[in-house]
């Protein structure tokens, strides 16, 4: 028998006796994740809680000289935080144990600037201990944010402070059970209280905190915890605080180039294709504009469409999602935030309700070793430890799922088997619809988890083409879903010309509206394109899901006369340049009077013709750091811009804390010109700002 024949005989015999020859597993490719990083990838979605001194001083960055007496929550209940996080589907909570102002939420031995000198619980409280207990009760993991920058510490800038910083870390990692993540913030603005010195201190972010020693402490005390900073060493920042990763997102980076405060931070959004270390991205964003609680942002909690977008652009783009909850000064997650968190959970549950690839057949012509061990059926076996792999050298390939019956699909989840490295550089997805292949999407990276959203197709097959990969692609999971149309009330917007648009969150929805104040239903006017509303009207609109007839809640907006012919003047009948921003129907833009304005800055609006005016509206500045908010006003009306009649004066109560539209009604006066005078402004800036001004007419 020749050698060749003998080998065939041997293989035949082995198959006969049921023992398939073992296929060598694919070799790891490039940097691979550590065990602690792999565990972190499974965390997926968890809460950040910014709650500390700033919560009581209404600041984002405290100065460091605040009195511990200021920290005094009235209803602090960490179990409420944990319950909310759990109900929202989160897996852990990271707490700001110490922010830049230096106040410590636990009774540290390193400083007097802590809860032990606060009135809360007579100085016997420990927020970290309470949170650790609550997390244990709700089966959540706990993480710690410890700011390296400390604006309170007298020795900040000297080696003594770093000793205390390390000691604080030791306390936090020793006394509160298991910690899953330690969060080091790269921010440093220099100036501070520093024990009363009130000066600016510069440190070298790369060397001052002795990062090697810092890492060693974490490894020693919490070997399973990951360390977050701009550049890791375990987890990286995603390079923005808005809640998105790039569509190309490598979990690897040339880590040695990165340090806290790295100026090339935009590269953090995509990672480095030629990375030297596993360094996956965490997407941190707040549910409100600020990280800390400010009553003035109560109306700016992110909407459901905003949160959904963030979900798909973080978790769906190979990142983990760290959503910040600014716990309020009672010590509770605010009711509005709770409502939005639960709305997000409900919508995500709907989107991913029924997995469609289960029990369907997946095949590929390129299977490593032609055995089941690396066959395509591993892709939908519900087990992420098994995966499809191609033979060595085969980096372009595809796999196809065949449905028993044509099935509607609009979401795809794809996962690479990352313990052996991230590989895929380019891929596309096709659907077999009515005997034709249709391209659904073409993208770059997959990584731990990629979620694609596409228009619903009724497909008999779905094919994933790996177009480019650094080595044999290893795919451990694919899921398919048919998310229902995203049903939320339409957004009503009107431009300066008076044209109204009704914006829907999902293009599959139908929108119906009325202009007479009655409740809209499917028999009302169907919206197709923007339309002119030239008179006063209350528009009410609903979105309807044509799939099941379900309708959204009603959105409603009062529209007065269009602003098409309006012009804005300053004192002395000068037309104000750029002031159109205060009559552009968009409260996100604003216009402000100039620096050296009179003590009572004012604007005059020419309405183009005479109306019966019965009031006005004012939107205060919606900027993150607003200025020039008018708190007290006088309003005058004139027919000729010469003779003015006082129509109303007063205060916009609570406008700084609640920056919503103000509506002031007065006795009807005929006139063409309206003058708004600011008799008092919030803050020290003497400019008056106007985000939007409108009138209320009666004819
Ligand atoms: C930033 C900090 O300066 C903010 O205050 C906040 O803590 C955010 C999460 O990180 O760098």
Q: Is the CB of 291 under 6 A from ligand 1?
A: yes
| pTM across the whole model | 0.87
E strands present in 531-658: 531-532, 537-544, 555-559, 567-569, 591-592, 602-619, 630-638, 644-651
pLDDT 10s digits, 606-634: 999 999 999 999 999 998 788 999 999 99
Mean pLDDT to the nearest integer, 357-380: 92
Does the CB atom of residue 51 touch ligand 1 within 6 A?
Answer: no
Please report the pLDDT score of residue 13 as a whole number: 46
pLDDT at 188 over 90: no
Q: Which fold has domain 361-479?
A: Jelly Rolls (2.60.120)
**pLDDT the model gives residue 134:** 98
Q: How far is the CA of 510 from the centre of ligand 1 (A)?
A: 41
CATH topology of domain 491-559: Immunoglobulin-like (2.60.40)
pLDDT band at 9 (very low <50, low <70, confident <90, very high): very low
Residue having the nearest C-alpha atom to atom 6 of ligand 1: 291
Predicted confidence band of residue 154 (pLDDT cuts 50, 70, 90): very high
**pLDDT number for residue 598:** 62
| Residue nearest to ligand 1 atom 7, measured at CA | 291
Residue limits of CATH 2.60.40 in the chain: 491-559
Mean pLDDT confidence for 557-569: 95
Question: Using 50, 70 and 90 to split pLDDT, how confident is the model at 654?
Answer: confident
pLDDT at 83 over 90: yes
Give me the percent of the chain exceeding a pLDDT of 70: 96
> Where do the CATH 3.20.20.80 domains begin and end in the chain?
35-148+165-188+213-351
Indicate which residue's Cα is closest to atom 11 of ligand 1.
187
Residue 311, CA atoms < 13 Å, CB-side half-sphere? 23
- Work out the number of other CB atoms within 10 angstroms of the CB of residue 670: 12
Domain(s) labelled CATH 2.60.120.260 in the chain stretch across: 361-479, 567-697
- Decide: helix, strand or coil at residue 310: helix
CA 96 to ligand 1: nearest atom: 7
Question: How many A from CA of 41 to the centre of ligand 1?
Answer: 22
Task: Indicate the SS3 state at residue 254.
Answer: coil
What is the rounded average pLDDT of the residues 438-447?
98
pLDDT at residue 595, rounded to an integer: 73
Query: Does residue 18 surpass a pLDDT of 50?
Result: no
- What confidence tens digit (pLDDT) does each residue in 579-611 have? 999 999 999 999 999 876 567 899 999 999 999
- From 241, 268, 322, 323, the mutation candidate for ligand 1 (largest count of ligand atoms within 8 A of CB) is 241
- For residue 60 and ligand 1, the question of a CB distance below 6 A is answered with yes
Task: Give the pLDDT of residue 597.
Answer: 54
- Residue 571: is its pLDDT beyond 80? no
Mutational test site, ligand 1, from 55, 291, 294, 625, max ligand atoms within 8 Å of CB = 291
Question: How far is the centre of ligand 1, averaged over its atoms, from the C-alpha of 431 (Å)?
Answer: 43
For the chain, what percent of residues have pLDDT higher than 90? 88
Arithmetic mean of pLDDT, 110-128 = 98
Atom of ligand 1 nearest to the CA of 186: 11
Mean pLDDT of 138-158: 97
pLDDT bracket for residue 419 (50, 70, 90): very high
Task: Name residues whose C-beta falls within 8 Å of residue 179's C-beta, 6 or more positions apart in sequence.
Answer: 142, 143, 144, 172, 173, 222, 225
What are φ and ψ of residue 604, in 5° steps? -125, 135
Per-residue confidence (pLDDT) for residue 480, from 0 to 100: 98
How does pLDDT run across 234-247, given as a tens digit for each residue? Answer: 999 999 999 999 99
Which is higher by pLDDT, 230 or 514?
A: 514
* CATH class held by domain 35-148+165-188+213-351: alpha beta
- Is residue 228 lining ligand 1, measured as CB closer than 6 Å? no
Residue 384's Cα: distance from chain center in Å?
27
Measure Cα distances from 664 to 182, 540, 570, 619, 637 in Å.
50, 22, 22, 12, 14
Range 135-160 average pLDDT: 98
Q: Which residue has the higher pLDDT, 230 or 371?
A: 230
Centroid of ligand 1 to alpha carbon of 308 (angstroms): 23
Strands (E), 113-205: 141-146, 179-183, 191-192, 199-200
Distance 325 CA to ligand 1 centre (A): 13
Residue 8 has pLDDT above 60, yes or no: no
Interior/surface letters 615-648, b for 16+ CB within 10 angstroms, e for the rest:
bbbbbbbbeeebbbbbbbbbbbbbeeeeebeebb
Quick one: CATH architecture of 567-697?
A: Sandwich (2.60)
Per-residue pLDDT of 462-509, as tens digits, reads 999 999 999 999 999 999 999 999 999 999 999 999 999 999 989 999
pLDDT tens, position by position, 372-415? 899 999 999 999 999 999 999 999 999 999 999 999 999 999 99
Calculate the average pLDDT of the chain.
94
Atom of ligand 1 lying closest to residue 99 CA: 7
Q: Residue 596: what pLDDT?
A: 67
Residue 351 in this model has a pLDDT that exceeds 50: yes
Per-residue pLDDT, averaged over 183-188, amounts to: 90
Residue of the CA atom closest to atom 2 of ligand 1? 187
User: Atom 3, ligand 1: which residue's CA is nearest?
Assistant: 187
Name the pLDDT band for 331 (thresholds 50, 70, 90): very high
Atom of ligand 1 nearest to the CA of 284: 9
């Amino acid at each position: 028998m020749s050698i060749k024949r003998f080998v065939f005989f041997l293989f035949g015999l082995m198959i006969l006796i049921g023992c398939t020859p073992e296929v060598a597993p694919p070799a790891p490719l490039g940097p691979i994740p550590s065990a602690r990083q792999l565990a972190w990838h499974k965390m997926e979605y968890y809460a950040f809680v910014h709650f500390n001194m700033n919560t009581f001083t209404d600041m984002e960055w405290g100065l460091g000289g605040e009195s511990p007496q200021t920290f005094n929550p009235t209803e602090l209940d960490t179990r409420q935080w944990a319950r909310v996080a759990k109900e929202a589907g989160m897996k852990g909570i990271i707490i700001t144990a110490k922010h830049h102002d230096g106040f410590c939420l636990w009774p540290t031995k390193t400083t007097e600037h802590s809860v032990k000198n606060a009135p809360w619980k007579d100085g016997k409280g420990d927020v970290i201990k309470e949170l650790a207990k609550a997390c244990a009760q709700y089966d959540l993991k706990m993480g710690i944010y410890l700011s390296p920058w400390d604006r309170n510490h007298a020795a900040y800038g000297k080696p003594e402070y770093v000793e205390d910083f390390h000691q604080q870390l030791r306390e936090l990692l020793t006394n509160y059970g298991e910690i899953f993540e330690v969060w080091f913030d790269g921010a440093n603005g220099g100036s501070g209280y520093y024990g009363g010195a009130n000066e600016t201190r510069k440190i070298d972010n790369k060397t001052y905190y002795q990062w090697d020693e810092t890492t060693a402490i974490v490894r020693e005390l919490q070997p399973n915890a990951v360390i977050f900073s701009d550049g890791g060493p375990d987890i990286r920042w995603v390079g923005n605080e808005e809640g998105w990763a790039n569509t190309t997102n490598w979990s690897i980076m040339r880590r040695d180039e990165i340090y806290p405060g790295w100026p090339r931070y935009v590269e953090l959004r995509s990672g480095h294709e030629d990375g030297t270390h596993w360094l996956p991205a965490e997407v941190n964003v707040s549910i409100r504009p600020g990280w800390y609680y400010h009553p003035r942002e109560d109306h700016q909690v992110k909407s459901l469409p905003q949160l959904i977008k963030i979900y798909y652009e973080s978790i769906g783009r190979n990142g983990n999602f760290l959503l910040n909850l600014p716990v309020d000064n009672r010590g509770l997650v605010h009711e509005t935030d709770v409502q939005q968190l639960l709305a997000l959970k409900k919508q995500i549950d709907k989107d991913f309700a029924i997995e469609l690839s289960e029990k369907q057949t997946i095949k590929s012509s390129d299977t490593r070793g032609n055995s089941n061990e690396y066959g395509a059926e591993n892709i939908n076996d519900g087990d992420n430890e098994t995966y499809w792999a191609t033979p060595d050298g085969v980096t372009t390939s595809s796999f196809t799922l065949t449905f028993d019956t044509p099935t509607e699909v609009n979401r795809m989840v794809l996962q690479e088997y990352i313990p052996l490295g991230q590989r895929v550089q380019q891929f596309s997805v096709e659907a077999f619809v009515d005997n034709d292949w249709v391209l659904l999407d073409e993208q770059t990276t997959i990584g731990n988890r990629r979620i694609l959203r596409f228009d619903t197709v009724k497909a008999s097959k779905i094919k994933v083409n790996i177009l480019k990969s650094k080595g044999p692609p290893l795919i451990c999971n694919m899921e398919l879903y048919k998310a229902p149309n995203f049903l939320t009330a339409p957004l009503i917007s009107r431009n300066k010309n008076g044209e109204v648009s009704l914006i829907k969150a999902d293009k599959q929805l139908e929108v119906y509206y009325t202009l007479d104040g009655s409740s809209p239903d499917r028999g009302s006017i169907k919206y197709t394109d923007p339309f002119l509303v030239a008179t006063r009207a209350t528009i009410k609109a609903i979105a309807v899901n044509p799939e099941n007839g379900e309708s959204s809640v009603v959105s409603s907006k009062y529209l007065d006369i269009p602003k098409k012919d309006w012009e804005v003047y300053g004192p002395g009948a000068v037309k104000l340049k750029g002031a159109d921003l205060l009559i552009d129907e968009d409260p996100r833009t604003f216009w402000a009077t100039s620096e050296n304005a009179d003590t009572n800055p004012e604007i005059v609006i020419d309405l183009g013709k005479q109306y019966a005016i019965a009031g006005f509206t004012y939107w205060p500045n919606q900027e993150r750091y607003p200025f020039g908010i008018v708190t007290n006003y006088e309003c005058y009306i004139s027919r000729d811009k010469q003779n003015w009649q006082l129509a109303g004066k007063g205060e916009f109560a609570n406008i700084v804390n609640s920056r919503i539209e103000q509506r002031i009604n007065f006795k009807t006066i005929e006139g063409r010109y309206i003058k708004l005078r600011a008799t008092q402004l919030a803050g020290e800036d003497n400019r008056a700002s106007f985000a939007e001004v409108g009138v209320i007419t009666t004819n």
